[in-house]
Amino acid sequence: MEYLNIIIQLFLFFVIFYFGIPVNKFLSTNNIKLNTIDNYTFNIIFYINFFLIISFFNFNITKLIILYFTLLSILIIINIRFFFFEIKRLKIKFFFLSIIFLITVIISVDISNSITLGWDSQKFWIYKTINFFDNGTIESLRYLDKGDGYDYPYLGSLLWAIYWKISFYNEEYFGRLFYAFIYIFSLLSMINRLNAPSHSKIIILLILVLLSYNYDYFGGEQDILLFCWLAFASALSLKIFKIKNNKELNFNLVLLILLCNLMIWTKAEGSVYAFIIILSLICFLRTKISLKLILIISLITLITIRVIVYKFHGLNIGVNSCCWNDLSITGIYSKITFDRIFTILQYLVFAFLKNYLIIFSMVLFIIKKNKFKDSNYILYSYITILLCLAFFFTAYLLTDANLVFMLKTGLDRLLFSITPFFIIIIIDYLSNNKLKFN
């Protein structure tokens, strides 16, 4: 019965996020046509931003769910004829979507059989989730114990609570099945940039899942969400560098900004990732200065909104006090020692060697760099990666906590979260060289 409920829950995800906003109907006049995976990507980004923005108004989870299904019902009623047409299109993609659904079910069953929460989840994220599940709001987060990370970003816990609430089986891990759903579609968003048959894409999806899936990332930790947002962002970035149509470019840049918003509200480092992505894009994308200015203003606005919302609801925003107490010039200088630098580099090397996708991406670039077509995009990708690594290095170098303990417990997860930047380089290479599995 439990497994049947898992299948029903996942089927609900596939249906809801397929029949969301009919983007093709509204955008067809602008020559922007979304395929099945692009359609899922758009709806995932849109609806999660919808949940997030509505939560700013201190609505509890029951009101959020009612508003969400009301919106979905209105969209279906208004566009009923269009949705019947979409059902006909869905039949054509039935085999492809069935395989994707089966892979998602297998991962979800593994999550259901390994229900132990991660350390950070037990200490921080589960309390936020229970707060929302019990009809708490943003404002009630301030009543959590400070040690429970009440001032951390809350988006992951909100999603966890929502899908736990609407599940057919009253177990908290049903809320985390949504993580498996967006994990699969974030990988597909990158694979979708391949000009290859559906069976080739399925083979690559299986390979990526085998090389990247680990239950530890689905035990309530928020790094899996950052992985997903960065995967969607990596796929969008590759598309943006290849777009010639200005309206299509603007549409995809808006999606990228919405993804940056999700990063900002997922974990503290999400704001840094968003800044790095936008900064790198401004440096290497060939477009109008005015558009680049809009991008940076948009990012600053999103970060400012988070500060305003937290202040309005009585929450604090700041660097984790347990790990970075002394950021004075004297304190920083005292931490910059050869031993600390060597220790961080040593753990970075070990972490790289444990991530096969990162190793393959780096080796591929070194031995096949002449096969990459778009040099601007490759520069964008590697500058983005280098800036992320520089951020990791600086954060560990300046910590006041036990350096070795922090490296052992956090570095692998940080590298995992930015793995999409390496995966998309592999995808770009395969696309340029017309990969096909016959």
Q: What is the pLDDT along the chain (438 residues), one digit of tens a residue?
A: 678 888 888 988 888 887 766 665 555 545 555 677 888 899 999 999 999 999 999 999 999 999 988 988 887 777 666 666 655 555 557 778 888 999 999 999 999 888 788 888 888 888 899 999 999 899 888 887 655 456 789 999 999 999 999 887 788 888 899 999 999 999 999 999 888 778 888 999 999 999 999 988 998 889 999 999 999 999 999 999 888 777 888 889 999 999 999 999 999 899 999 999 999 999 888 888 888 899 999 999 999 999 999 988 888 776 555 666 666 677 677 778 888 899 999 999 988 888 888 888 888 777 766 555 556 788 888 899 999 999 999 888 888 778 888 888 888 999 999 999 999 988 887 877 665 544
* Helix pair 419-432, 173-191: axis angle to 10 deg: 30
Cα–Cα distance, 178 to 181 (Å, whole number): 5
List helix spans (H) across 20-93. 23-27, 36-55, 61-78, 80-92
* Helix pair 268-284, 375-397: axis angle to 10 deg: 150
Q: Phi, psi at residue 152, to the nearest 5°?
A: -70, 160
Q: How far is CA 11 from CA 88, 226, 251, 317, in A?
A: 18, 24, 29, 38
HEC-encoded secondary structure of 255-314: HHHHHHHHHHCCCHHHHHHHHHHHHHHHHHCCCCHHHHHHHHHHHHHHHHHHHHHHHHCC
Could you say which DSSP state residue 30 is in?
Answer: G
Beta strand ranges found along 117-263 (DSSP E): none
Q: What is the pTM of this model?
A: 0.92
Identify the pLDDT of residue 29. 46
Cα–Cα distance, 164 to 177 (Å, whole number): 9
Could you say which DSSP state residue 141 is in?
Answer: G
Could you say which DSSP state residue 395 is in?
Answer: H
Q: How far is CA 195 from CA 200, 344, 357, 432, in A?
A: 10, 40, 21, 9
Q: Which residue has the tokens 């995967």?
A: 231
Contact 435, 200 (CB under 8 A): yes
Identify the pLDDT of residue 115. 76
The torsion region of residue 264 among left (phi > 0), alpha (psi -120 to 50) and beta comes to alpha
Q: Count CA within 13 A, CB hemisphere, residue 312.
A: 12
Residue type for position 191: I
Residue type for position 163: Y
Identify the pLDDT of residue 379. 84
Reduced to 3 states (helix: H, G, I; strand: E, B; else coil), residue 43 is: helix
Q: How far is CA 72 from CA 40, 167, 176, 296, in A?
A: 15, 18, 22, 32
Q: How far is CA 110 from CA 54, 154, 339, 398, in A?
A: 32, 25, 41, 38
Cα–Cα distance, 128 to 121 (Å, whole number): 10
Q: Phi, psi at residue 249, to the nearest 5°?
A: -60, -45
